[in-house]
Amino acid sequence: MLEWEPVIGLEIHVQLKTRTKMFCRCENVWGEEENTRTCPICLAHPGTLPVANRTAIEWAIKLGLALGCEIAPRALFHRKHYFYPDLPKGYQISQYDVPLASGGRFVLPTAEGDREIGIVRAHLEEDAAKTIHVGGSAGRIAGAEYSLVDFNRGGTPLVEVVSEPDVRSPDEARRFLQLLRRTVVELEISDAEMEKGSLRCDANVSLREVGESGFRTKTELKNMNSFKFVADGITAELERQRDIYEGGGEVVQETLHYDPSTGSVAPLRSKEYADDYRYFPEPDLVPVEPPAGMVEAARAEIGELPGARIRRLEAEVGFDLAEGLVSGGRDRLFEEVPGDRRAVANVLMNQFAALSIDPAQVNAAELGKLIEARETLPRSTFAEALMATGDPDFRADSYLVEVAISDFDELDPVLDRVIAANEAQVTSFKAGKEGVLGYLVGQVMRETQGKANPKVVNERLREKLGA
């Protein structure tokens, strides 16, 4: 049995959230009515000229620096030619042999140590328009009755990040992408939402035998629009290639589409992606020559990177929780919430994460009080209270008093019933068995369907039992 080593490189498209598009002044927005954010420039009317968006250049520099890249003193825009309805000019303005940023490395912390993923380049380009294929299977062009084009997206700024083939597993690809996403979000240059297409990922995938030097034929996997699909798609492709090699065949270089509904990969029509783009320098744009001041200003805006924060938090809560908190964007809240570190981290990563509350809205001190009280609360009450923390006016004490039955008039009859029905436990409690009290509190909680305030029940029971 041969041992196979995956060789994976990622190409990640980050859509910048600049106010306007890359080469015209159309509004750069998502979700507006189709073909309402267009102008003669992004629709490629004859005689129009592009003007580069300064903010997009600044943000691309910022991302390049965060990825450890060198910033080119003089970068060029090129025309990349292909013929497709999503491209009114017949070419896309992109960067070719002199990209804005190149030669970086991205540190991916793991439980076993740091992994370094080389960054080949990060370049600026304009996005194509969005095509919608109607009537085909899974919205694909194959078998579609007709296609529609929305030019609102055409000409919006993208940074394409190309990694070295340094990624060694589907899970590593997913974690790299998640941490890169976090980086981009914190730099405040993109929403980077995969479901909206503002973060997109393609993967170049090949296999080789463990110990083999050099690379074998790779395939390109496109259109994986969630973190899970990235890992699943690469897994499916690695299995397909392994079966081919073990069956004595050869992998053919091709572009593949991952279909999450079947968990399989299938070739894209080769017509959709031509190889010969006939790049040549864009004659309508001057070279990008960022002044030193612009690069230094961008560098000054980069804070502590997510990978470094994972390492810092790891010491407090272990690697998995630290990575989860940072990747999920809940680490800043974590650092503000007082209380037992692991308990806070666990709540934030489990119950709290499931509620999709904006961490920025949460009063950390009040959340800390709630987490501290959680042992004394029924599970359902704690879950409901957590949900209420999304309101900035949430106050743990008053909330718990309001929702819980603390009123003796209401509690006493229940307590008396429980005491009467559990003579043996009451006797052993009076004989000094402290632990039995928890059982009795539990009985009261059950009778009140979790609505009693356990802290009050606890105290009142002690009183009644003369302890």
Span of 16-24, 256-264, 265-273, 289-297 interacting with Zn ion by CB under 5 A: 16-24
Tokens 């380009």 identify what position?
A: 125
Least distance to Zn ion from the beta carbon of 32, Å?
A: 13
User: How far apart are the C-alpha atoms of 21 and 391, rounded to whole Å?
Assistant: 35
Least distance to Zn ion from the beta carbon of 40, Å?
A: 7
For Zn ion, the closer CB: 26 or 221:
26
Least distance to Zn ion from the beta carbon of 62, Å?
A: 24
Q: Which residues contact 47 (CB under 8 A, 6 or more apart)?
A: none
Least distance to Zn ion from the beta carbon of 131, Å?
A: 18
From candidates 10, 22, 42, 265, binder to Zn ion by CB under 5 A = 42
Least distance to Zn ion from the beta carbon of 26, Å?
A: 3
What is Dmax (Cα atoms) for the chain?
Answer: 96
Report the sign of the C-alpha dihedral through residues 31, 35, 36, 39, in that order: positive
Span of 34-42, 86-94, 316-324, 355-363 interacting with Zn ion by CB under 5 A: 34-42
User: How far apart are the C-alpha atoms of 238 and 220, rounded to whole Å?
Assistant: 12
Span of 25-33, 335-343, 408-416, 423-431 interacting with Zn ion by CB under 5 A: 25-33
For Zn ion, the closer CB: 24 or 440:
24
Length of the chain, please?
Answer: 467
CA 339 vs CA 64, 161, 370, 448, 452: distances in Å: 38, 40, 10, 29, 24
The two three-digit tokens of residue 467, written as one number: 């302890």
For Zn ion, the closer CB: 24 or 344:
24
For Zn ion, the closer CB: 152 or 381:
152
For Zn ion, the closer CB: 34 or 254:
34
Class of residue 429 by CB neighbours under 10 A (exposed 0-12, middle 13-18, buried 19+): buried
User: How far apart are the C-alpha atoms of 37 and 401, rounded to whole Å?
Assistant: 52
From candidates 14, 22, 24, 60, binder to Zn ion by CB under 5 A = 24
Least distance to Zn ion from the beta carbon of 56, Å?
A: 14
From candidates 29, 34, 35, 39, binder to Zn ion by CB under 5 A = 39
Residues 371, 349: contact at Cβ < 8 Å? no
Coil vs helix vs strand at 257: strand
Per CB under 5 A, 61 contacts Zn ion: no
Class of residue 100 by CB neighbours under 10 A (exposed 0-12, middle 13-18, buried 19+): buried
Least distance to Zn ion from the beta carbon of 25, Å?
A: 7
Per CB under 5 A, 29 contacts Zn ion: no
Coil vs helix vs strand at 406: coil
Side by side, which strands form the sheet with 280-281? 91-94, 78-81, 280-281
Span of 18-26, 103-111, 123-131, 208-216 interacting with Zn ion by CB under 5 A: 18-26
Per CB under 5 A, 26 contacts Zn ion: yes
Give the x-and-dash track for 290-319 against Zn ion (CB under 5 A): ------------------------------
Residues at the interface with Zn ion (CB under 5 A): 24, 26, 39, 41-42
